[in-house]
């Protein structure tokens, strides 16, 4: 009997079997994850997709025209994403009344003839105030079902349900989570003074969330998407406010003499970087906790240091400083406070925002009397210009790092626009009265 | 022993094969019309949707509008673009203002630093702060007590002239001396 040797053999057998099991599992996963839209590819070929009219599957008549609302939101979202070419419904061959929504009832050539490679079908049913909606995604080319989802909720939440479906469609086709459940916080003068507002990514559900009747500026999201910090002159000085969006409660967390401005949450949600001028009258970067207690002073320099933005790993902060004579973008390593200058072209580079993917920093550069949006790698190289029309500032990244929202006056007054991270598909977001500025994209 | 090594080699080879597959995502290319495939429709997942709504905003009480500017016995001083140093004209005005303040030592004065609309809102707040401090320092040198002086920066947020030209911008690059209540 040689027990040691037996143990050895057993262990190796287990490892072997585990290895085989893992490989088989992984192979199955990979086989299922066909990439329909390779969003990493530099050439943006839009995928032709058809959205069939959603059917009323229930007995309650569709008085609110839910069907056309659903279709409208899906079309708008897919077009905003910049990844799809939505096929004109007027060219459809299929008879919507006769056709079903499951693949056994689909005539694939009806769809491939009109150029579709992907197809969305679905239905809904109403019951008093509640709504059930289901959507199914098909691969027209291979003639098969890809995925489907059914949602239950209130009729009032229709927009959210459809946005969730669109997110699912895009996830199935790209392997990545999309933007349609995210929101934008921004500043608007719609009520007469600058207040903080929220809206969906498509500009709908605009809602004012402050009532300071003063000047509110520079909102910043907490990483859990439930709170905002922002500066307000409500008490006569630019103080830092902390607000819980869903409960509504608000408090001042930093009211030092002088400036309490340009806040940014750390990625772990425990600290806020901001600019204070209290210590020597000079604008410097500080870290504070969520109660406003000063944790650390980050910069010590005669220049004005402002507009911090954290790297997604929380180790660095990009910011604006005029220590070299004019506003430029710098990167600070929090651990040792070392600072590296990133921008050397142009004499006014500001509003840096670090991409949540970590791969880029967006910023705006003033040339003449107007701004444009640029991106660069985190070491300052590979500078790309993204805008040309009008004056464009204050870029903010979508949480998946694929889109930017920014402010522009290209159509006269200041409104908000979205574009892909490479500058393509620039579109204005539906707007209301007044001027909209300072957009920040929710996590 | 040999068998074990063979097992290991098989595992490694398979892993290498898998790794190779991961590196090459297949991109869909249109092919001829597909044959109908039995649907796996049972895979429709379900989700309950309930949207959390942001809290309603309570209207603020009507209070005195902080935006109105009252006529001040003290004169504004102006600055060059992107600058916070005092011109000779500015110094002369500050001397006059200082005299008034020394004669009215119980009246608090708020020095409000402002910028023109060019530049970013956040950087302009820091520039306005410098302009306000610049004025305060000089007034202190002229004998005005620190306790009488407060500063605030409005950046580009409260332009005196809402125009978008050089003339308006020049008027907006200023320190305004408000009688603080």
- In whole angstroms, what is the distance from residue B144 CA to residue A280 CA? 20
Give the C-alpha separation, A146 to A138, whole Å: 5
Phi and psi of B172, rounded to 5°? Answer: -85, -20
Among chain B residues, CA nearest to A216: B157
Q: What 3-state DSSP class applies to B42?
A: helix
Distance from CA of A246 to the nearest CA of B (A): 4
Which chain A residues are within 8 Å of B8, Cβ to Cβ? 12, 16
Identify which of A145, A211, A307 has the shortest CB distance to residue B60.
A211
Give dist(CA A350, CA A202) in Å, integer: 27
Give the bridge partners for A240, in sequence order. Answer: A231, A254
Residue B20 is predicted with a pLDDT of 53
Of B36, B126, B157, the CB nearest to A143: B36
Structural tokens at position A169? 């469609």
CB A37 within 8 A of CB A171: no
* DSSP string over B157-168: SS-SS---SHHH
Contact A240, A274 (CB under 8 A): yes
Order across the sheet with A227-232: list the strands.
Answer: A216-221, A227-232, A239-244, A250-254
- Report yes or no: B168 at the A interface, CB cutoff 8 Å: no
- pLDDT per residue of chain A (443 residues) written in tens, 0 to 9: 445 556 667 776 666 666 555 554 444 443 345 667 776 566 668 999 999 999 999 999 988 899 999 999 999 999 999 999 999 999 988 777 667 778 778 899 999 999 999 999 999 999 988 999 999 999 999 999 999 999 999 999 999 999 999 999 999 999 998 999 999 999 999 999 999 999 999 999 999 999 999 999 999 999 999 999 999 999 999 999 999 999 999 999 999 999 999 999 999 999 999 999 999 889 999 999 999 999 999 999 999 999 999 999 999 999 999 999 999 999 999 999 999 999 999 999 999 999 999 999 999 999 998 999 999 999 999 999 999 999 999 999 999 999 999 999 999 999 999 999 999 999 999 888 899 999 999 99
Residue A349 region by backbone torsions, left for phi larger than 0, else alpha for psi between -120 and 50, else beta: beta
CB B174 within 8 A of CB B150: no
CB contact under 8 A, B157 and A217: yes
Tell me how crowded residue A386 is: count the other CB atoms within 10 A of its CB. Answer: 21
Q: How far apart are CA A53 and CA B158, in angstroms?
A: 51
Confidence of residue B37 (pLDDT cuts 50, 70, 90): very low
Backbone angles phi, psi at A191, to 5 degrees: -90, 0
Closest-CA distance, B156 to chain A, in angstroms, reads 11
A341-397 pLDDT, tens digit each: 999 999 999 999 999 999 999 999 999 989 999 999 999 999 999 999 999 999 999
Q: Are A356 and A400 in contact (CB under 8 A)?
A: yes
Across the interface, whether the CB atoms of B123 and A304 are under 8 A apart is answered yes
Segment A400-429, tens digit of pLDDT? 999 999 999 999 999 999 999 999 999 999
Widest Cα–Cα separation across chain B:
103
| % pLDDT > 90, chain B | 59
ipTM: 0.86
Q: Which fold has domain B87-179?
A: 60s Ribosomal Protein L30; Chain: A; (3.30.1330)
State the pLDDT at residue B2.
Answer: 64
pLDDT of residue B105: 93
Min Cα–Cα distance to chain B from A30, Å:
7
- Residue A72 has what pLDDT? 96
Q: Determine the pLDDT at residue A372.
A: 98
Task: Enter the tokens of residue B94.
Answer: 């500050």
Phi, psi of B60 (to 5 degrees): -75, 150
With b meaning 16 or more CB within 10 Å and e meaning fewer, what string describes A221-252? Answer: bbbebbbbbbbbbbeebbbbbbbebeeeebee
| 8-state DSSP, B119 | S
Give A276 to chain B, closest Cα distance, Å.
9
Q: Domain ranges for chain B, please list them.
A: 87-179
Q: Are the Cβ atoms of A103 and B36 closer than 8 angstroms?
A: yes
In chain A, what residues touch B146 (CB-CB under 8 Å)? Answer: none
Q: What is the pLDDT of residue A25?
A: 45
Q: Do A161 and B26 touch (CB under 8 A)?
A: no
How far apart, in Å, are the Cα atoms of A43 and each of A46, A172, A346? 9, 20, 29
Q: Is A299 left (phi over 0), alpha (psi -120 to 50) or beta?
A: beta
Distance separating alpha carbons of residues A67 and A413, to the nearest angstrom: 35
| B46 at A interface, C-beta within 8 A | yes
Nearest to A160 among B25, B33, B49 (CB): B49
pLDDT of residue A35: 67
pLDDT at B32 over 50: no
Whether B38 has a pLDDT exceeding 50, the answer reads: no
Question: How far is residue A213 from each of residues A94, A231, B63, B70, B128, measured CA to CA in Å?
Answer: 55, 13, 9, 18, 22
Residue of A nearest to B128 (CA): A259
Judge whether B16 is closer than 8 Å to chain A, CB to CB.
Answer: no
Hunting for tokens 């099991």 — which residue is that? A21
Cβ-nearest to A141 among B7, B34, B152: B34
Q: What is the pLDDT of residue A93?
A: 86
d(CA A205, CA B40): 37
**Of residues A378, A288, A370, A286, the one with CA closest to residue A329:** A378
Residue (of A186, A54, A27) closest to B121 by Cα position: A186
C-alpha distance from residue A140 to each of A47, A115, A217, A285, B101 (Å): 12, 9, 48, 55, 81
Cα-flanking dihedrals φ and ψ of residue A273, to 5°? -95, 140
Residues A241, A218: contact at Cβ < 8 Å? no
Q: Do B119 and A152 touch (CB under 8 A)?
A: no
Helix (H, G, I), strand (E, B) or coil at B115: coil
Residues 6+ apart with CB under 8 A from A114: A50, A87, A91, A92, A93
pLDDT of residue B91: 97
Residue A123 dihedral angles phi and psi, to the nearest 5°: -155, 175
Per-residue confidence (pLDDT) for residue B28, from 0 to 100: 39
Chain B contact probe: residue of A46, A144, A176, A218 with most B CBs at under 10 A: A144
pLDDT at A287: 98
Rounded to the nearest angstrom, the minimum Cα separation between B96 and chain A is 25
A132-146, B11-25, B33-47: range with highest mean pLDDT: A132-146
**Which residues touch A186 (CB under 8 Å, ≥6 apart)?**
A196, A197, A199, A219, A416, A436, A437, A438, A439, A440
Domains in chain A with CATH codes:
47-174 (3.40.50.10070), 183-441 (2.120.10.30)
- Cite the DSSP H helix spans in A82-207: 108-113, 158-174
User: Is A196:A211 a contact under the CB 8 Å cutoff?
Assistant: no
- What DSSP character marks residue A436? E
- A234 contacts: CB under 8 Å, gap ≥ 6: A212, A213, A214, A241
pLDDT in tens, B45-69: 788 887 778 887 776 655 544 445 6
pLDDT tens-digit map of B108-137: 999 999 999 999 999 999 999 999 999 999
B19 has a chain A CB within 8 A of its CB: no
Residue A287 forms beta bridges with which residues? A273, A296
Q: How far is B70 from chain A (nearest CA, A)?
A: 15
As a whole number of angstroms, the distance between CA A84 and CA A77 comes to 10
Q: Which residues in chain B are closer than 8 Å to A26, comparing Cβ atoms?
A: 18
Q: How far is CA A153 from the centre of its chain?
A: 24
Report yes or no: B25 at the A interface, CB cutoff 8 Å. Answer: yes
Six-digit token pair at A336? Answer: 């040792």
State the nearest Cα–Cα gap between A306 and chain B, in angstroms.
Answer: 6
- Considering only CB atoms, which chain B residues are within 8 Å of A241? none
């Amino acid at each position: 009997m040689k027990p040691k040797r037996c143990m050895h053999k057993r262990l190796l057998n287990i490892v072997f079997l585990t290895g085989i099991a893992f490989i088989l599992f992984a192979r199955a996963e990979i086989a299922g994850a066909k990439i329909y839209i390779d969003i990493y590819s530099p050439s943006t070929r839009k995928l032709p997709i058809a959205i069939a009219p959603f059917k009323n599957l229930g007995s309650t008549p569709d008085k609110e025209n839910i069907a056309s609302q659903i279709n409208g939101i899906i079309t708008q979202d897919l077009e905003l994403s910049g990844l799809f070419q939505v096929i004109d419904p007027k060219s459809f061959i299929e008879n919507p009344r006769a056709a079903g929504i499951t693949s056994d009832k689909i005539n694939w050539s009806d769809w491939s003839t009109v150029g579709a490679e992907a197809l969305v079908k679905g239905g809904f049913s109403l019951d008093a105030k509640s709504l059930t909606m289901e959507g199914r995604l098909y691969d027209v080319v291979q003639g098969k079902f890809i995925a489907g989802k059914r949602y239950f909720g209130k009729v009032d939440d229709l927009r959210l349900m459809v946005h969730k479906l669109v997110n699912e469609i895009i996830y199935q086709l790209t392997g990545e989570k999309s933007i349609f459940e995210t929101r934008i916080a921004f500043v608007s003068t719609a009520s007469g003074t600058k207040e903080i507002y929220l809206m969906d990514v498509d500009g709908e559900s605009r809602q004012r969330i402050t009532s300071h009747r003063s000047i509110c500026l520079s909102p910043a999201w907490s990483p859990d998407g439930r709170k905002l910090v922002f500066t307000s002159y409500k008490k006569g000085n630019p103080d830092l406010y902390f607000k819980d969006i869903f409960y509504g409660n608000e408090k001042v967390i930093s009211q030092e003499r002088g400036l309490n401005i340009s806040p940014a949450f750390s990625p772990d949600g425990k600290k806020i970087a901001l600019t204070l001028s209290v210590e020597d009258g000079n604008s410097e970067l500080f870290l504070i906790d969520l109660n406003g207690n000063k944790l650390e002073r980050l910069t010590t320099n005669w220049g004005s240091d402002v507009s911090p933005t954290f790297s997604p790993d929380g180790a660095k902060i990009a910011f604006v400083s005029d220590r070299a004579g004019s506003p430029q973008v710098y990167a600070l390593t929090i651990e040792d406070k070392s600072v590296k200058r990133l921008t050397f072209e142009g004499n006014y580079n500001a509003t840096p925002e670090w991409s949540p993917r970590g791969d880029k920093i967006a910023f705006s550069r003033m040339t003449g009397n107007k701004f444009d949006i640029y991106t660069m790698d985190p070491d300052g190289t590979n500078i790309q210009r993204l805008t040309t029309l009008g004056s464009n500032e204050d870029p903010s990244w979508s949480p998946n790092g694929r889109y930017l929202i920014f402010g522009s006056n290209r159509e006269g007054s200041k409104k908000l626009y979205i574009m892909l991270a490479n500058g393509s598909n620039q579109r204005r977001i539906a707007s209301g009265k007044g001027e909209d500025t300072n957009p920040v994209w929710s996590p | 022993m040999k068998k074990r090594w063979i097992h290991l080699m098989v595992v490694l080879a398979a892993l290498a094969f898998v790794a190779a597959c991961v590196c090459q995502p297949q991109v869909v290319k249109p092919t001829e019309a597909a044959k109908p495939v039995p649907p796996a429709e049972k895979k429709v997942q379900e989700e309950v949707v309930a949207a959390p709504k942001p809290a309603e905003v309570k209207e603020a009480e009507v209070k005195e509008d902080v935006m109105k500017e009252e006529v001040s016995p003290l004169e504004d001083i102006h600055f060059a673009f992107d600058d916070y140093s005092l011109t000779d004209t500015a110094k002369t005005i500050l001397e006059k203002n200082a005299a008034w303040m020394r004669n009215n030592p119980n009246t608090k004065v708020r020095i409000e630093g402002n910028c023109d609309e060019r530049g970013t809102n956040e950087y302009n707040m820091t520039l306005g702060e410098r302009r306000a401090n610049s004025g305060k320092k000089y007034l202190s040198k002229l004998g005005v007590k620190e306790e009488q002086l407060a500063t605030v920066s409005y950046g580009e947020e409260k332009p005196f002239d809402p125009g978008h030209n050089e003339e308006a911008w020049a008027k907006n690059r200023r320190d305004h001396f408000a009688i603080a209540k």
